[in-house]
Structure 1
Amino acid sequence: MRILIIGAGVIGLSSAYYLSRAGYDVTVVDRHEEVASETSFGNGGQLSYSYVAPLAGPGVVSKLPRWLTQRDSPVRFRPKLSVEQWRWCFEFLSACTRARSELTTQKLLSLSFLSRTLMHELIAAEPSLDFDFVRSGKLVLHRDAKSMQSAVDLLAFQRTLGCEQLALSAEACVEIEPALAHARPFLAGGIHTPSEDTADCRRFCNGLEAVLRERGVRFLMNTPIDALKSGATGVEAICNGAPLAVDRIVIASGAGAARLLKPLGIRVAIYPIKGYSLTFDLQPHIAAPHVSITDFAHKVVYARLGERLRVGGIADIDGYSLDADPARFATLRKETATLFPEVAQSAAAGEWIGLRPATPHGLPIVGPTRYPNLWLNVGHGALGFTLATGSAALLADGLAGSNNRELSSAFVLSH
């Protein structure tokens, strides 16, 4: 069977890996010259298996005034004259209940734990892959006692879902990560999760591309898809005015999926959430973290990638534009200077912007559509790297007609 995968980011390439391993004839097509040229290029670098709670949560409504009025808010909403945006926002608000958030978290944890197992197996199976992968563990820092207590109160629930986490004092956080010594005076404590990993998503994609090419997977780079059209034999992918000769099509095109599918009458509730990152080149003897760090209050993450520090954050709900807001980069620099002043003072940083393909409820969409030859692997939001291997394995199982993985139905598009 010939399978065409549209999208050469981490989701598309992971899909290609598991489908090719299952014996399918796979081709990957992408509009860019290189793989991982969009959202997979400069993400936060955290493989955060235990922190998958959706953005839609019971406390969101009370935060809306800040999101709408404060320019430096970690989450910012810019209203537009867009039916697509407002429909997504209303669906997002309807998902902001405790019951829905907890159910979504349970489903995402099942998928993330599967992804963790598969990522570790993939690394063992493909020794040529080199992408700054480290089993670093993760510290989520809290700056005030109330926030810390709320996190502690969640530990029992998280443990019932299989998470192994510890509540630590501020002193214990500094013992685990000495680079936090400067920040000790304004830390209330932290939650430590030893099982989390860090890695460079773009390097993972580059390595996976090399593995796939050796396996015989074809790549059509710098090749945009003109349109998807329904024909006598199902959906056709039109490229340069003609359909590509394939048997199945997998959409893994991130934030662009909704607009690509719309002419077919398929609505996927995906809207882009703009994220920003900085990458600092680290000098010797600079006090930079080795443990993965999340600043809970400011929603900024820090991940060491070899001799670089990736600093990521920001969630701007303001459409498909990739125009940069300099104030958002300034916010990341300011927060870096607060926690790790030597990093901020000693190194220039590369800047990046990407569009996270988010669903209102936070669950990705993995599985078939009403067209028998058209499948989806989309809508992973900020968790694309974390969920990539598990989602790809579910997709491969589904295409093979296998029901081996019990959680697969939770991610299928509702018709």
Structure 2
Amino acid sequence: MQEILVIGGGVVGLSSAWWLLEAGHKVTLLERAPQVGTGTSFSNGGQLSYRYVSPFADAGVPLKALQWMFQEYGPLHFKPQFDAQQWRWLAAFLANCRADANRQTTHKLLELGELSRRSMVRLEAVVPPESFQWRESGKLVVYRTRKAFEAATAKPDASPTRQVWSAAECAAHEPALASVADQLQGGIYNSGEAVADCYAFCVALAERIAAHPRFTGFVHGAAARLVSAGNKIAGVETSTGLVKADAYVLAAGMQSRALAASAGISLPLYPLKGYSLTAPIRPDDVAPEISVTDFERKVLYARIGANLRVAAMVDMVGEDLSLDARRLASLTRQVRETMPHAADYGSVTPWAGLRPATPNSAPIVGPSPYANLWLNVGHGPLGFTFACGTASLLADLVQGKAPPFALDGLTLR
């Protein structure tokens, strides 16, 4: 049994803490905010997309990105900065924009997605799905251009959960799309995918963690740096003092990059700023029952409880959490056009979060250069989807167990 300090109280850190507790360790959790789950986990898209895991980096993406930046509804906004980390990340991202690299990463993320799905099912025994509004909605990706639709349907996929629908079938299965059925070429539907409230999941899981007999408590304080001694981490310097343990797990979202750098570790993370809108669903609204992704516009729609959650956009603007009025106005306009009767858009709550992304879209889980420091970082927009899976992998690795599949492409090396 080790005493382990988990750094980060978002969905990844909390999941890591739970799996380590269940593996027999004592765990303390360090979170800088007064409440868990209030960072990037707070108001994200809410989709648990275990099979829709296509990496952002792919052949043709650099050209598309240039086009997106000049489109009114473009999903990408790039602000060049005098920041070496931004340019290093971009160079590594471009190096991954190859079809072969995309295929390899997609295969690995599908393995991780299946592990994550099974791990979430295991967790249902202690965190009831209704406590975080979990619902198996299925996922429908709709395409507006014939080229994109044909490219998607041409990809080999033997999954029994996959169905290809015409535009008319998309609208028939999901009436919320009726207003844009004539603008669609078709869609691909996968059953078994789900939606849920990530923040509510964090709160519910934190309650179970707090009641665990091996949990030694929450420490609410800002981590300033990792203190190293030889080949080990000797403690974490925080706003409340030095916190020490036998081993440490870094799972602090974008803050992980600076903390790792304080110990001489370079993490290939960059913040991809995303926005979400949360609008209440009224009795007469036609909100989507199926989780929908508008492929070309990169907009996600999910009914979470009594609200419609819309998530979109990638802003490469550094660690800027401000709400860009122009970006929000653009997102609101296209949401009103796509699903005009889905929710009360006059009562929208906007939000922005920084998604810690790696150049190849794969999270980093496993050992670090220090013997007692473990990593669980870089989940990008799929933190909720992959959190339980990477937590399960991490617990196995800390125990010295072999992982259920090869981790090539998922480690710091």
TM over 0.5: yes
2:89 alignment partner in structure 1: 88
Q: Superposed, which structure 2 residues align to 1:219-298 within 5 Å?
A: 219-231=217-229, 234-235=232-233, 236-240=235-239, 242-298=241-297
Distance in 2 separating the partners of 1:364 and 1:49:
14
Amino acid aligned to 1:227: R
**Which of 180, 186, 190 matches 2:183?**
186
Q: Number of aligned pairs?
A: 410
2:173 paired residue number: 176
Return the alpha-carbon distance in structure 2 between the equivalents of residues 291 and 311 of structure 1. 13
RMSD of aligned Cα (Å)? 1.7
Does 2:204 correspond to 1:212? no
Q: Which residue of 2 aligns with 1:139?
A: 140
Cα offset, 1:329, TM superposition: 1.1
SS in 1 for 2:227: strand
Correspondence for 2:106: 105
Q: Which moved more, 1:336-345 or 1:23-32?
A: 336-345
In terms of mean alpha carbon deviation, does 162-171 or 96-105 score higher?
A: 162-171
For residues 258-280 of structure 1, the C-alpha deviation after alignment (integer angstroms, 9 at most, x for no partner) is 11111211111001000000001
SS of residue matched to 2:118: helix
Query: Percent identity, aligned pairs only?
Result: 40
After TM superposition, list the pairs within 5 Å mapping 1:304-383 onto structure 2: 304-343=303-342, 347-383=346-382
Which SS does the other structure have where 2:359 is aligned?
coil
Q: Call closer, same or farther: CA 1:391–1:341 in 2, change over 3 Å.
A: same
Q: Deviations over 1:229-276 (max 9, x none)?
A: 112572121124743231000000111111111121111100100000
**1:241 and 1:23 mapped to 2: Cα distance?**
27
Q: Name the amino acid aligned to 1:198.
A: V
2:282 touches 2:344 (CA, 8 Å); kept in 1?
no
More helix by share: 1
Q: Is the 8 A contact 1:128 1:207 kept in 2?
A: no
1:123 corresponds in structure 2 to 124
Q: Which moved more, 1:121-130 or 1:89-98?
A: 121-130
Instruction: Give the counterpart letter for 2:4 in structure 1.
Output: I
Q: Secondary structure at the match of 1:254?
A: coil
CA distance in 1, matches of 2:368, 2:225: 17
Shifted more, 400-409 versus 24-33: the winner is 400-409
User: 1:176: Cα distance to partner?
Assistant: 1.2
Unaligned 5+ segments in structure 2 are: none
Number of the residue aligned with 1:301: 300
Distance 1:316 1:330 in 2: 15
Inter-CA distance 143–64: structure 2 relative to 1 (3 Å threshold) = closer
Q: 2:217, 2:35 → 1: CA distance?
A: 10
Deviates more, 1:163-172 or 1:394-403: 163-172
**Number of the residue aligned with 2:64:** 63
Question: What TM-score comes out, normalization by structure 2 length?
Answer: 0.95
C-alpha separation between the residues in 2 aligned to 1:11 and 1:73?
Answer: 29
Judge conservation of contact 1:129–1:208 (CA < 8 Å) in 2.
Answer: no
Name the CA shift for 1:262/1:333 in 2 (closer, same or farther; >3 Å).
same
- Within 5 Å, give how 1:393-412 maps onto structure 2: 393-412=392-411
2 CA distance for matches of 1:145 and 1:409? 35
Find the aligned partners of 1:262 and 1:25 in 2 and give their Cα distance: 26
* Unmatched tracts of structure 1, length 5 or more: none
Alpha-carbon offset, residue 124 of structure 1: 3.5
Preserved CA contact (<8 Å) 1:230 1:264: yes
- Cα deviation code 1:177-235 (max 9, x no counterpart): 12222222212111111121111100000000011111142443531112111125721
The answer as to whether partners of 1:129 and 1:204 remain within 8 angstroms in 2 is no
Contact 1:68 1:78 in 2 (8 A): no
- State how far apart, in whole Å, the 1-side matches of 2:283 and 2:411 are: 48
- What is the distance in 2 between the residues matched to 1:363 and 1:163? 25
Counterparts of 1:366 and 1:31 in 2: how far apart (Å)?
A: 22
Q: Is the 8 A contact 1:333 1:344 kept in 2?
A: no
Residues 219, 70 of structure 1: alpha-carbon distance in 2 compared, 3 angstrom cutoff: farther
Change (3 A) 1:141 1:88: same
TM-score scaled by length of structure 1: 0.95
CA deviation map 1:27-68 (0-9, x unaligned): 111110101111000100110111111111101121242244
Instruction: Tell me the alpha carbon deviations over residues 140-194 of structure 1, each in whole angstroms, 9 at most, x when there is no partner.
Output: 111122221111112x2x33xx573111011111221122222222121111111
